[in-house]
Structure 1
Amino acid sequence: MTFRWNSVDRLSLGIVGLIALITFIAFFPLMRVIVLALSLAIVLIPYQERLARRISPALSAMLITFGVVFTLLVTVILTGTVLYQNMEYLISLISSMIDGFKGAFETEFFLSIPDLGFEDMINTLLITVRDTIFAYLMAVPRIGVELILFIVSLYLFIYKGQGIGDDISKGLYGRSRENISIIWKRVSDTLYSIYVVHFSIAVITFFLALPFFWLLGYEHIIFYSVLCALFALVPFLGPFIILAFLALYALSIGDIRALLLILFIGYPVLSVATDLYLRPVLMGKRVEINPVVIFIGFFGGMSVMGIVGFILGPLLLSLIIGGYQIVIRELQTAAGQAEAPKA
């Protein structure tokens, strides 16, 4: 069956497209919330289908929505609380590390460090963090509205998402359906990688970090474990940054035991094992995405789009790859059809 473009009411489609464009422009400030809700719903729709076999689709969508929102809220609140409560400790740690290196080397370079204003920089950093938190507290009403919109949008996308996808699929035929399926697979695999794999790695890293930092003997075990979990969301870097910082700190204070534990236990367990073994295993055969693409998408997306770039960056790069596959597929098909008459 072929698609007949001449049978389509182009005027109606044009009007619908115009309405969609006006709506997009009018609600553009809220697009960040809509995009996050839609991307998360795509990952959750398969779970909605399974749960809807036992209870009503509306109830299953509601349960999944509130379960996810509750989990996210608890995670964000606990993480923010831990980081805020330990901010002064982190600043004092940096100061101790600088003092330790100055005392160890006692060279003209290190003696000139106070003249560079490191203490003022540290105090400024602390004030900036506090001002940022205060600014977010002042924006609570706006955040509350966005949270409500996120919850409602997530529920609707979970509840109606599969039906919308089926309606679109029914209007596609032949190679169009095959090409769109390539795009859809890229979307679902990328979002699966971001939400399921990377967040699973973060959780696993957190629980692996707890006994390690207990063994290390430093205080604030929860604080360090939370930091490692946050950095574990980014492929390749992972907790390496935290471990490198602590290795420098151990070196500055002459704690050779801690340095050896970080090098021979912390780095292999918290960084190498999670990035080189667990992440590929969890991604499995379903996700055919090079981790480098995810890595570039994270940093590139966040640098130009903010926090939403954490999702859109890898997704857009993955779609570019999917588009490349479609172009090659169409060119090969066209080449085959062009050569057919000669045969």
Structure 2
Amino acid sequence: MKENEYRFLMRIFVLISFLSVMIIAFPFLDTIAFACAFAYMTEPFFSALKKYTGRTLGAILCILMITVPAIILVFLILTDIFEFLNSLDYAGFVDYTVQFINYIGLQNIAKEDLSSILSEIWNFLKPTVNKMAGQIYGLPLLFIKGLVTVFLTYYFLKDGYRFKDAVMPHVPEVYHVQTELFIRKLHEAYKNLFVVNALTAFTVGLISIAGFWAIGLPNPVTLGALSGILTLLPIVGGWTIYMPLSVYYIAVGMYSKAILLFGFGVLFLSLAPDFVIRPRLVNHESSIHPAFALVAFLMGPLALGITGFALGPLIMGTFDAIFRVKNGKDSIINLK
């Protein structure tokens, strides 16, 4: 057999092997994405622990202390949110909204117009809500995927640093510098999206749950989770939760609760994330563009369901890294 024929056959074999792996892994694509997300979110704690415990024990401790409780908490929060959304009384909500609008002096807005607007919004969102809820309630498969996520997160933490060493031998030497730069930018993009934005949102969610519970709001877990999720989105943020609630409590005459809620929201849900939490996690110069974050954390879940919470940031992080990688005048997308 000639050398050229051997190389051709080997390339065919490698391609078939790669496609076979993709077919096997595709049903668990969401599991791999969440494992990658949890590994990045846990990595700061792992980096601190491994100096004293080593990589293996440090990864196990991170799984037990952070990743498993985080998965359980996220599951409970998402379940609470979807149960709340599925149980909404749409007609009663429209009537109550119209009464509130009339109360504040905007009687010129017709009930039919408002009902039509709210109906269109709900008709747009309901399929996505039902799809996500269906994913949550598939308990047997969800349990299996949860276990796989835990084990994959462990191995990503323990052996993730070997990724570059496994890739580089297969890259032509002429592209080594650009490939190493791309891998570094990819790591920075994922770190910003998961460690900075996701961890900031997670922290804000926990603070919100505690604050809303202390203030005495109903459904503090649901409201706190929504506050954390909305923190992921540029411009939107937690104010979209505490501002309408503050206005509502003013309208019903509960002024002290309104003032307390407004003060808590401004201090801990608006100022703290942007001026305390996020700056401590990343330098401004290396942050992800707000448009990328918006697509990753909003459009990802709308397009892909629950999977989009992890897969959206992975896709947009790769896209961001491609356009950040430059070596002189050449870009990684113009390799020759």
TM-score for both structures, normalised by structure 2: 0.71
Deviation at 1:72, TM superposition (A): 1.9
8 A Cα contact 1:236 1:275, kept in partner: no
> Any idea what SS the aligned residue of 1:27 has?
helix
Q: Which residue of 1 aligns with 2:146?
A: 147
CA offsets per residue over residues 53-97 of structure 1, 9 Å max, x none?
544644443333343432223312442465478779976777544
**Counterpart Cα distance in 2 of 1:287 and 1:82:** 35
CA offsets per residue over residues 124-159 of structure 1, 9 Å max, x none?
99x999977984575211112222222232233333
Q: Which residue of 1 aligns with 2:38?
A: 40
- How many aligned positions are there? 324
**Counterpart Cα distance in 1 of 2:16 and 2:68:** 37
- Percent identity over the alignment? 18
**Structure 2 counterpart of 1:65, one-letter code:** I
8 A Cα contact 2:40 2:194, kept in partner: no
TM-score for both structures, normalised by structure 1: 0.70
Q: Which residue of 2 aligns with 1:340?
A: none
**Would the alpha carbon gap of residues 153 and 204 (structure 1) be closer, same or farther in structure 2, given more than 3 Å must change?**
closer
8 A Cα contact 1:34 1:153, kept in partner: yes
8 A Cα contact 1:45 1:162, kept in partner: no
**Structure 1 counterpart of 2:38, one-letter code:** L
CA offsets per residue over residues 6-43 of structure 1, 9 Å max, x none?
9x955424412221112212432221212222343356
**Would the alpha carbon gap of residues 102 and 319 (structure 1) be closer, same or farther in structure 2, given more than 3 Å must change?**
same
CA offsets per residue over residues 181-236 of structure 1, 9 Å max, x none?
22222322222223322243234434654686578675555553343223223333
**Structure 1 counterpart of 2:230, one-letter code:** F
**Would the alpha carbon gap of residues 59 and 72 (structure 1) be closer, same or farther in structure 2, given more than 3 Å must change?**
same
Gaps of at least 5 residues in structure 2 are none
Look at both structures and tell me which one has the larger radius of gyration over its CA atoms: 1
**Counterpart Cα distance in 2 of 1:316 and 1:27:** 17
**Counterpart Cα distance in 2 of 1:331 and 1:130:** 44
> Any idea what SS the aligned residue of 1:98 has?
helix
**Counterpart Cα distance in 1 of 2:136 and 2:295:** 32
**Structure 1 counterpart of 2:99, one-letter code:** D
Q: Which residue of 2 aligns with 1:161?
A: 160
**Counterpart Cα distance in 2 of 1:50 and 1:12:** 43
Deviation at 1:161, TM superposition (A): 2.4
8 A Cα contact 1:100 1:253, kept in partner: no
Q: Which residue of 1 aligns with 2:65?
A: 67
The 5 A counterparts of 1:1-343 are 9=7, 11-41=9-39, 44=42, 51-52=49-50, 54-55=52-53, 57-80=55-78, 83=81, 96-103=96-103, 105=105, 107=107, 109-110=109-110, 112-113=111-112, 116=115, 135=134, 139-169=138-168, 176-206=175-205, 208-209=207-208, 213=212, 218-221=217-220, 223-250=222-249, 252-253=251-252, 266-267=265-266, 269-275=268-274, 278-284=277-283, 287-326=286-325, 329=328, 331=330
> Any idea what SS the aligned residue of 1:31 has?
helix
8 A Cα contact 2:94 2:115, kept in partner: no
Between 29-38 and 161-170, report the one with greater CA deviation. Answer: 161-170
**Would the alpha carbon gap of residues 163 and 140 (structure 1) be closer, same or farther in structure 2, given more than 3 Å must change?**
same
**Counterpart Cα distance in 2 of 1:212 and 1:149:** 34
**Would the alpha carbon gap of residues 259 and 208 (structure 1) be closer, same or farther in structure 2, given more than 3 Å must change?**
same
**Structure 2 counterpart of 1:163, one-letter code:** R
Between 318-327 and 215-224, report the one with greater CA deviation. Answer: 215-224
**Would the alpha carbon gap of residues 156 and 265 (structure 1) be closer, same or farther in structure 2, given more than 3 Å must change?**
closer
CA offsets per residue over residues 278-325 of structure 1, 9 Å max, x none?
424422258342233212332232333333333333443343343234
